[in-house]
Amino acid sequence: MSKSIAEAARMLAGWLRETRAGVAFTGAGISTESGIADFRSPGGVWSRHRPVMYQDFLADASERQRYWLMRKESAPAFLAAKPNAGHLALARLEAEGRLTAVITQNIDELHQRAGSRRVLEVHGTAMKVHCLSCDKRYTGEEIQTRLEAGEEMPQCDDCGGILKSMTVSFGENLPQDVWQEAARLASECDLFLALGSSLVVHPAAGLPETAASGGARLVIINRDPTPLDSMADLVVHGSIGETMEAVMEQMKAESRKSKVESRKPKAEN
Ligand SMILES: [Zn+2]
C-alpha cells in the first residue's frame, strides 16, 4: 500500500540513518519533475517520431538526418532543465555517506549537475556528442548551435566522421561494464531506492529484484504503481521531489534533536 509522504519520510529517514551502502536507481519520473518529458509518454518524442535504429543510423544518411532533426527538437528541453529537489537530495545523501551511487536510466546529466559524483548511466548521456571514428567529444550546446545554424548532419571537425550523441540507441547493445557494476552494487546494497522508474522493462527491473533478494530494503517512489510494489518495504505513489524533501527535513530535525540531547548534562548518580 502506498504511504503518505509524511509517513514515508519518517520511515525512510530512519532507514537512511542506518544504511551503510544505499543505492539509488532513477528513471524518467525524476526528470519529468524538472520539465523533461518522458520520451515514451504520450506527447513524448517516441509518440511523434519512429525511433532511429542504431544499424539504420550507421547505414543510411536519411536516417541520420531524421535523427538530428529529432535531436534538434528535443535538445532545448534537456539543455534548459535544472536539477530538482529529488536530484539534490540524492547528491546530499551521497555526500553524507548514505548512498554509494546513483544508477540512472536518464540521459540528461541532472544528477551530476546536482552534485552526485558516482553516477552510472545505463543508457548513456544526451549531453555529450562524440565522433564514431576518432571519439572526439563535443558538448550538447555546441552541436545544438550547429544544428540551429542549419547543419543537417553534423560531422567531426577533425576527421569528417559520423557524430552521434553518447546515448544508447534502439538496437544498440547496452554498456555491459556499466550494467555489471550496477548489478554488483544492487546485490551488495542494504537499501535500494527506486525513484521514477516504471520497473517494467528488463534489465532495469531486475536491479531492485537483485537488491531485495540480497536482503536490502526496497523503497519505490513513483507516480504510478509498478509491478514490484508488492515486493517493496515502502511504496509512495507521488512526487519524488516532495517526498525526498520531506525525508531530508525529517533527517535534519532528527539530527538537531540528537545534538541537543547529547549536549544535555548527564544526570549524576
Ligand atoms: Zn572524428
Quick check: is 180 in a domain? Answer: yes
Q: What integer pLDDT is reported at residue 37 of this predicted model?
A: 80
Ligand 1 midpoint to CA 61 (Å) = 17
Ligand 1 midpoint to CA 161 (Å) = 5
Quick check: is 152 in a domain? Answer: yes
Q: Which of 49, 87, 123, 130 is catalytic?
A: 123
Lowest mean pLDDT among 10-24, 42-56, 188-202: 42-56
Mean pLDDT for 161-183 is 93
Are 53 and 169 spatial neighbours (Cβ–Cβ below 8 Å)? Answer: yes
For residues 57 and 128, membership in a common domain is answered with yes
Q: How far apart are CA 169 and CA 105, in angstroms?
A: 13
Strand partners, 120: 103
Q: What integer pLDDT is reported at residue 49 of this predicted model?
A: 77
pTM over 0.85: yes
Ligand 1 midpoint to CA 216 (Å) = 44
Quick check: is 269 in a domain? Answer: no
Between the CA of residue 148 and those of 12, 37, 62, 94, 159, what are the distances in Å?
45, 21, 18, 38, 22
Ligand 1 midpoint to CA 155 (Å) = 8
Confidence of residue 203 (pLDDT cuts 50, 70, 90): confident
Which residues lie closer than 8 Å to 213 by C-beta, 6 or more apart? Answer: none
Per DSSP, 120 falls in state: E
For residues 195 and 119, membership in a common domain is answered with yes
Q: Residue 87 catalytic?
A: no
CA–chain centroid gap for 170, Å, is 18
For residues 49 and 72, membership in a common domain is answered with yes
For residues 18 and 74, membership in a common domain is answered with no
Are 174 and 122 spatial neighbours (Cβ–Cβ below 8 Å)? Answer: yes
C-alpha cell at 268: 549524576
Ligand 1 midpoint to CA 135 (Å) = 6
C-alpha cell at 41: 509518454
Pairing of strands 124-131, 163-167: antiparallel
Judging by beta carbons within 10 Å of its beta carbon (0-12, 13-18, 19+), is residue 155 exposed, middle or buried? middle
How many folded domains does the chain comprise? 2
